[in-house]
Chains A and B, each alone.
Chain A
Amino acid sequence: MDTTAEQRSARRLSFNILRYNPQDPASRPAVQRFVLEEADGMTLYLALTEIRETQAPSLQFDFVCRAGICGSCGMLINGRPGLACRTLTRDLPADISLAPLPVFELIGDLSVNTGRWMRAMSERLEAWVHSQAAEDLEAMEEVMEPELAEQIYELERCIECGCCIAGCGTVRMREDFIGAVGMNQIARFRLDPRDERSDQDLYQLVGDDDGVFGCLSLLGCHDVCPKSLSLQTQIAFLRRKMLRSALER
């Protein structure tokens, strides 16, 4: 190990973690400090696991995949939303603050229920393929151009971690705003040839100030997305299409 790596791994990290248990009436939101020696290649997920094992067995945080695929470990890392499992401590200063994602229902400490919010959003935007065609289970599947399948797949990469919602200034003002994750869903089904909904139908879902026209274009969503989705492009595209739909009506 070279000197720089040694110095880096010897860093003492100070974690200021927001702790609160909404289930306990006596609990009040408070920041608890933990000190930890940095290990080589340490992620926030590994650090939190160590804190839980050695210092705070009651510390609540979510994880499943530990590889940036499930989207469970989203949290505010020094004020910015991100995934704990994808964040290396060496990319952060020695003082690290961790807090639960805002907007979503708090389960406790760093753990939030993004599922309830995401489900409500999906139901509101009817985020599924709308088709009147009779289902024929015997027939061959319809062929899709690989380029189109790629485009749809690109938008499908969203893991609904909630970072875009926590990074969105508009949501702080308008609680019913659908956010980038919602607009990305609409963009995804708009591309899908199996979905028979027209732009007029989509306007009915997102053509107002809780939808695409309420977006303040702060691009917090785009800049914090752990999957690097082109949310800026998708939102601008949807805005143009929805404007055209309004003008053609």
Chain B
Amino acid sequence: MMKPEDALIAHSGLDEIAAKSRLPALLDVTQSVSGLLLALFMWGHMLFVSSILISKDAMYSVTKMFEGYYLFGTSQPWIVAVVIFLVICLFVLHAALAMRKFPASYRQYRKLLVHKSRMQHSDTSLWFIQVYTGFAMFFLASAHLFSMLVNPGEIGPYASADRVWGGMWPVYLLLLLAVELHGGIGLYRLAVKWGWLQGSDAATGRRNLLRAKWIITGVFLLLGLLSLAAYMKIGFEHRDRAGERYQPSLLQSPAPLRPNVPGSAAIGALARVPS
């Protein structure tokens, strides 16, 4: 709480004459750090989600790993809920800070839009994508995050596929596009904003960063689209038994362990633990 005499000075608009606030600096760096953490989280998220492209068992093992199965011997979905809660906190923080940069009135928006369309300048246009995708994620990411928070145990080859096929796929498709564009552009902008990864020549550094940005965005988009298609296919095939949970293949049939099948070691461990 501000002291009454400080509030008096601040209310008159004279508070920054003696010393400017540290807050603009702290808000700026917090926006950058929260964005960086979210982008790194999304990279990890994509890699784990796309384990479905290897096999249902691989995705099942990843799910069980995050539920602490291999640590506690039983599934503990609350661990997933805690992670989701932390991500929500980071997401809200980043959104609140990034909103400071949004045009705040139609007048400002129109001025910027004319500036962008007349300038035809790559980085100015990229920033508009950040604003649009950021705005879209207020709603898309919130829908996803809150549905996962209340059902943290509903992640798995069938549970996720049923959810995707059961009506959520348009949200996931739009969210995928928004996240991958926003994250990729955000990381590039972070680097040029703070002068990271520039190398000895800033112009070459920026060109390389842009190229890397588009490659990373392309790869993650492709991975995301393939994964979404895989979940939709499973969801479609499983539509008559929607709600039924997946059983790893080793529990489905007493076939001997095949060490060369991806994920089989983990499944093997799982098979030996009575659930």
| Residues of A in contact with B (beta carbons under 8 Å apart) | 76, 79-80, 167, 169, 172-173, 203-204, 207-209, 211, 213-220, 223, 230, 232-233, 236-237, 239-240, 242-243, 245-247, 249
Contact A223–B121 (Cβ < 8 Å): yes
A233-B202 in contact (CB<8A): yes
B83 lies within 8 A of chain A by Cβ: no
Please give me the residue from chain A that is nearest to B22 by CB atom: A246
Task: Assess whether A209 is in contact with B24, with CB atoms less than 8 Å apart.
Answer: yes
- Indicate which residue in B24, B115, B120 contacts A172 across the interface (CB closer than 8 Å): B115
Stretch binding the partner chain, chosen from B25-33, B135-143, B168-176, B265-273: B25-33
| B21: A residues at CB distance < 8 A | 208
Residue pair B108, A172 in contact (C-beta under 8 Å): yes
Contact A213 B124 (CB under 8 A): no
In the complex, what residue of chain B is closest to A234 when comparing beta carbons?
B195
Cβ A208 vs Cβ B24 within 8 A: yes
Q: Are B193 and A236 in contact (CB under 8 A)?
A: yes
Asked if B20 and A204 sit within 8 Å, CB to CB, the answer is: yes
Identify whether the interface residues of A are mostly helix, strand, loop, or mixed.
helix
Interface of B is mostly: helix
A236 touches B194 (CB 8 A): yes
4 other contacts beyond A172-B115, A247-B22, with CB at 8 A cut-off? A76-B118, A167-B119, A213-B27, A216-B127
Q: Is the CB of B123 within 8 A of A243?
A: no
Shortest distance between the CB of B132 and any CB in chain A (Å): 15
Please give the residue numbers on chain B whose beta carbons come within 8 Å of chain A beta carbons, in ascending order. 16, 19-22, 24-29, 100-101, 103-104, 108, 111-112, 115-121, 123-124, 127, 189, 192-195, 198, 202, 206
Q: A79-B120, A219-B123 are in contact. Are A213 and B24 (CB under 8 A)?
A: yes
Q: How far is the CB of A201 from chain B (nearest CB, A)?
A: 11
Q: How far is the CB of A44 from chain B (nearest CB, A)?
A: 17
**Bound complex: CA of A128 vs CA of B24, how far in Å?**
25
Instruction: Report how far A64 CA is from B14 CA in the complex, Å.
Output: 43
Q: In the bound complex, how far is the Cα of B28 from the Cα of A217, in angstroms?
A: 12
B22 contacts which chain A residues (CB < 8 A)? 207, 246-247, 249
Residue of B nearest to A80 (CB): B119
Q: Is the CB of B124 within 8 A of A218?
A: yes
Within 8 Å CB of B24, what residues of A? 207-209, 211, 213-214
B25 and A173 contacting across the interface, CB-CB below 8 Å: no
Q: Which residues of B contact A232 (CB under 8 A)?
A: 192, 195, 202, 206
**Once bound together, how far apart are the Cα atoms of A209 and B24, in whole Å?**
6
Check if A239 sits within 8 Å of B124, measured CB to CB: no
CB pair A169–B29 under 8 Å, yes or no, is no
In the complex, are the beta carbons of A240 and B118 less than 8 A apart? no
Determine if B124 and A220 form an interchain contact, defined as CB atoms under 8 angstroms apart. Answer: yes
Question: Can you list 13 residue pairs at the A/B interface with Cβ under 8 Å?
Answer: A79-B118, A79-B120, A169-B112, A207-B22, A207-B25, A208-B16, A208-B20, A208-B21, A215-B193, A220-B121, A220-B124, A243-B25, A246-B22
